[in-house]
Amino acid sequence: MTSIRDATETRASYENFFARCPWCEVENVFNRKTDLGDVQPIARKEVHCLNPSCGKLFAITGDSVNSAHEMLIFDCYELKKEKRYCYCVLNLAQAFEVFFSLYLRVLLLCRPFAWHEREDTGEDNLVQLNALASELYEAIKDHAFAKLRNVFLNCVLTYQNIASFDEAATIIRTLPALNHMPSDQALSACGNPKLTALLKLVKDSKVGELRNKIVHQRAYRPTLAEVELALQETRSIIFPLSHLLSVQGDDINWYMRRA
């Protein structure tokens, strides 16, 4: 019986998983949705080599466990190496939007669910969670970068500790009224100097504007200098904000352990 060999070399991106076949040494590019049929992090998975002259079975391991917004940022280094500067900027703008959306899910879904589970209210918490998730999706599904950024900023300033589904539901229904840009005075009044500084950087970020120049009208082509500035800006904002706001991906179990 032939043993299952591991890929000799692997690397992960948000959309694909790259693995060098241990039999023929050809690098395979597995699309997570089409080829693997699963977008969850891969602990270990058996696959067939995509090289038509090989096709042998081998195992892939060593996937990234980073959040989606982090993977989108990390993908930019390969895109930058390939001089695909437009796509770098698109990734960075998307990373911001994904992070804003994640924060809203954590604030309005994960934390209330964790509270209800801890308090053992006797209610069907999963049913309520799914209903609220649908409401939240409907409330922000049409929000582009600027509106989503403004909702994020206003929610950080106004709501920190949501302790029930009822509170979350009330807030979700008010989200359309929160798409205005908060003033610098409002940001300064949050009481946490580190958070204030990061929120002002979010407000002043030019990544969304650069993305708009690329995707609209004349298809602007950014320079390497613009991309490096945007990449540095994005990392310096999102990574510390994620830590400060305790946003660690979509795994609801992580938030339950900290409820």
Question: Is 50:69 a contact under the CB 8 Å cutoff?
Answer: no
pLDDT attached to residue 235: 98
Cα gap 259→255, rounded to integer Å: 6
**Residue 121: which pLDDT band, with cuts at 50, 70 and 90?**
low
Cα gap 133→164, rounded to integer Å: 14
Q: Which of 34-38, 67-71, 109-113, 115-119 has the lowest mean pLDDT?
A: 115-119
- β-partners of residue 18 are 11, 29
Token pair 């009481």 in the structure block, residue: 191
- Of 34, 30, 27, which is closest to residue 46 (Cα–Cα)? 30
40-46: long-range contacts at Cβ-Cβ below 8 A with a sequence spacing of 24 or more?
41/65, 42/17, 46/4
- Of 198, 171, 199, which is closest to residue 183 (Cα–Cα)? 199
* H or E segment to which residue 27 belongs: strand 27-31
* H or E segment to which residue 45 belongs: strand 44-48
Q: Is the pLDDT of residue 48 over 90?
A: yes
Q: Can you give the length of the chain in residues?
A: 259
- Which amino acid would we find at residue 255? Y
> What would the mean pLDDT of 229-240 be, rounded to a whole number?
98
> What would the mean pLDDT of 166-188 be, rounded to a whole number?
95
Q: Is the pLDDT of residue 134 over 90?
A: yes
- For the chain, the C-alpha Rg in angstroms (whole number) is 21
Q: Is beta strand 57-61 parallel, antiparallel or unpaired with respect to 44-48?
A: antiparallel
Cα gap 188→142, rounded to integer Å: 29
Classify the phi-psi angles of 197: left when phi > 0, otherwise alpha if psi is within -120 to 50, otherwise beta.
alpha
pLDDT attached to residue 123: 67
Domain boundaries, the chain: 5-61, 68-256
Q: Is the pLDDT of residue 2 over 60?
A: no
Q: Is the pLDDT of residue 16 over 70?
A: yes
Cα gap 81→87, rounded to integer Å: 12
Half-sphere exposure of 151 (CA within 13 A, CB side): 30
> What would the mean pLDDT of 86-94 be, rounded to a whole number?
98
> What would the mean pLDDT of 176-204 be, rounded to a whole number?
95
